[in-house]
Amino acid sequence: MRRLPRLLRGALSLTWSAARKEFAASAALQLAAAACMAAQILIVQRALSGVIGVAEGKEDISDVLPAILALAAVSTVLTFANIARTELQRLLGELVARRALDQVLDVSTGVELLAYDSPTFLDRLQRARTNAVSRPAQMATGLVGVLSALLTIAGVSAALFFLEPVFLVVVLLAYVPLWIATTRASKVIYRFNVVQTERDRRRDYLSYVLTRKEEAAEVRAFDLSGFFRRQYEKLWDERLAELRTVVARRMRVGLIGGMVTSALTAATLAVLVVFINGERMDLAQAGAAAAAVVLLGQRLQLLSGSAGSLYESSLFIEDFTSFVAAMPVLDAARPKDQAPDGFRKLRVDSVSFSYPTRDEAALDNVTLEVEQGQVVALVGENGSGKTTLAKLLAGLYQPSLGAITWDGIDVTKCDPLSVRRSVGVIFQDFAKYMLTAHDNIATGRHERFDLRDEVVRAARRSGADSFISRLPKGYDGRLGSPFLGGNDLSVGQWQRMALARAFFRDAPFLILDEPTAALDPRSEADLFENVRELYGGRTVLLISHRFSTVRSADMIFVLFAGRIVERGTHEQLMDIAGLYAELFTLQAAGFLDPQQ
């Protein structure tokens, strides 16, 4: 009861923002229905007294006719209002679902990348996304139901009050047990849903692993289907066992509530008989009052049922409202200053960075400089901070300490969108869009989406053109197998697509994180045969485990545990015989014949 006003407010504001017209129509109809229902009772009284009058020969049939016609008219309106309520609920459900999903997407695309490193955010995002599909219909049903029930209860109560106030009090009292029972039952299901969230997510994940192409090969190779399936079934079993208990409890509570209510309704009717006997009411009044009592009962039942629906969807409403509320804060927090279009000198000045989930710094006091047109490389062992530094330079993360300047302007204080505009980047875990070959490359700069010549040029540079032109539909061929007619590619070919996308972006600063990891040696050699031409004079930051691609860089930075421990050209670094020389020699030794 205490939460109902807050829930109503949340549900109302979401519904109102999604479907103003439909909701207003729905409310107007229910208001009309409420008026009709009150009128119906008074007309019933008139019709009954007319019929009794006719039977006793005191009235003519024609006297009763207007009441009967009015009854027909009112009941037509009521039938229509009932149908409209159900249908509008359906429409409202979908409109609200769409609006809710839109708002989830606003948040999911509006937050900075770092949010995706937080399990709490991911949890809430997942909950908001799945609930936004299923819950709005329930919420709309609850909302319109509560609204309709409240209005009609007011109407019928007014009519009943006019007939005999005692009944009004008795009927309302009779429904107190049912109301309590419904609230109890809703609470039980609410608690069940809260407890199950975590388990449901684990189960969803397992079903995901068992149905996705990405895991299909490994699941078979390691014979994991049975193993995962058992875990999945166990989670279902646990959920169902608890659901059975919950359902049994709800049935018990409902039955007791219903029985008490029925007993009280019977008592009401008994009082009615006593009143007629004592001639406190005439037969027509009693008939109308009986109809009103039944109607009021139905409406009270509708109210408790709808409030139950609303209560059950409250988990969603509250969760959703607070999740979406994060959005305006983000917009306000984004700096307004614009970064320049590129730089002559980039400087990373004493930059440190920590991930929110880890105490240890991923980057620790890093300082470096890059001149326009230079090719610089980052090398270091796994986890030394290379990708993190690349993400900071691409404007995807902001440093915890220190500054990144472009010709003296601190771009960490600028709108990150304006920084990213001048950066082309591909990561190790690059995206594979299930779109056409053209679109896969053109997404590199969607503002130039239609420039086929440029797309082909980028594909030639990355070596993707050779296999794209062999596809049945060439650049218009769909990539990836999930859709009909899609052509799946090898990992190396996908990597060339990603490279082509980065080239198509045509940004002055190019960041390539392991761009050749999936390429065979010949492809890699071809690609890097003429590096300067490949990059077309752009500034390039290259991360690679392959020293062959790194050695020609103008400057190499060696990272170790988040710090730069060595810097220089290949020759300089070999001369100092430190970490770089050690790693280089290790890799080179793998290719050399120990006999030589």
- Interface residues toward ligand ADP, by CB under 6 A: 117, 355, 357-358, 362, 380, 382-388
- List of residues 6+ apart from 294 with CB closer than 8 A: none
Identity of the residue numbered 88: L
Element (H, E) at 410: strand 409-410
Q: Least separation, in Å, of the C-beta of 116 and ligand ADP? A: 8
Q: How far apart are CA 212 and CA 227, in angstroms?
A: 16
- List of residues 6+ apart from 446 with CB closer than 8 A: none
Residue number, 387 or 422, with CB nearest to ligand ADP: 387
First to last CA, the chain: 86
Find out whether 127 and 10 touch, Cβ atoms under 8 Å.
no
Q: Which tokens sit at 72?
A: 């027909």
Q: Least separation, in Å, of the C-beta of 542 and ligand ADP? A: 13
Residue number, 205 or 355, with CB nearest to ligand ADP: 355
Q: How far apart are CA 92 and CA 72, in angstroms?
A: 29
Residue number, 113 or 194, with CB nearest to ligand ADP: 113
Identity of the residue numbered 565: V
Q: How long, in residues, is the chain?
A: 596
Residue number, 392 or 489, with CB nearest to ligand ADP: 392
Q: Least separation, in Å, of the C-beta of 391 and ligand ADP? A: 8
Neighbours of 61 (CB within 10 A): 11
Q: Least separation, in Å, of the C-beta of 260 and ligand ADP? A: 56
Q: Least separation, in Å, of the C-beta of 119 and ligand ADP? A: 10
Q: What are the angstrom distances between the C-alpha of 264 and each of 130, 232, 469, 477?
A: 42, 48, 81, 72
Residue number, 355 or 535, with CB nearest to ligand ADP: 355
- Looking at the DSSP bridge assignments, the partners of residue 434 are none
Q: How far apart are CA 536 and CA 513, in angstroms?
A: 18
Find out whether 113 and 36 touch, Cβ atoms under 8 Å.
no
Q: How far apart are CA 104 and CA 125, in angstroms?
A: 7
Q: Which tokens sit at 442?
A: 């053109």
- Looking at the DSSP bridge assignments, the partners of residue 509 are 423, 539
Q: How far apart are CA 79 and CA 29, in angstroms?
A: 11
Say which residue the tokens 């017209």 belong to. 21
Residue number, 187 or 563, with CB nearest to ligand ADP: 563
What single DSSP character describes residue 339?
A: P
| Burial class of residue 246 (count of CB atoms within 10 Å of its CB; 0-12, 13-18, 19+) | middle
Q: Least separation, in Å, of the C-beta of 214 and ligand ADP? A: 20
Say which residue the tokens 């209560």 belong to. 311
Residue number, 21 or 358, with CB nearest to ligand ADP: 358
Q: Least separation, in Å, of the C-beta of 587 and ligand ADP? A: 16
Residue number, 232 or 427, with CB nearest to ligand ADP: 427
Q: How far apart are CA 34 and CA 31, in angstroms?
A: 5
Smallest Cα–Cα separation from 366: which of 557, 544, 568? 557
Residue number, 159 or 559, with CB nearest to ligand ADP: 559
Find out whether 395 and 334 touch, Cβ atoms under 8 Å.
no
Q: How far apart are CA 438 and CA 449, in angstroms?
A: 9
Helix (H, G, I), strand (E, B) or coil at 59: coil
Residue number, 117 or 349, with CB nearest to ligand ADP: 117
Q: Least separation, in Å, of the C-beta of 385 and ligand ADP? A: 4
Q: Least separation, in Å, of the C-beta of 514 and ligand ADP? A: 9
Q: For 278, phi and psi rounded to 5 degrees?
A: -80, 5
Q: How far apart are CA 398 and CA 401, in angstroms?
A: 9
Say which residue the tokens 């229905």 belong to. 33
Residue number, 380 or 444, with CB nearest to ligand ADP: 380
Q: Least separation, in Å, of the C-beta of 84 and ligand ADP? A: 51
Q: Which tokens sit at 276?
A: 């007629």
Residue number, 44 or 543, with CB nearest to ligand ADP: 543
Q: Least separation, in Å, of the C-beta of 543 and ligand ADP? A: 7
Residue number, 382 or 595, with CB nearest to ligand ADP: 382
Residue number, 504 or 557, with CB nearest to ligand ADP: 557
Identity of the residue numbered 349: D
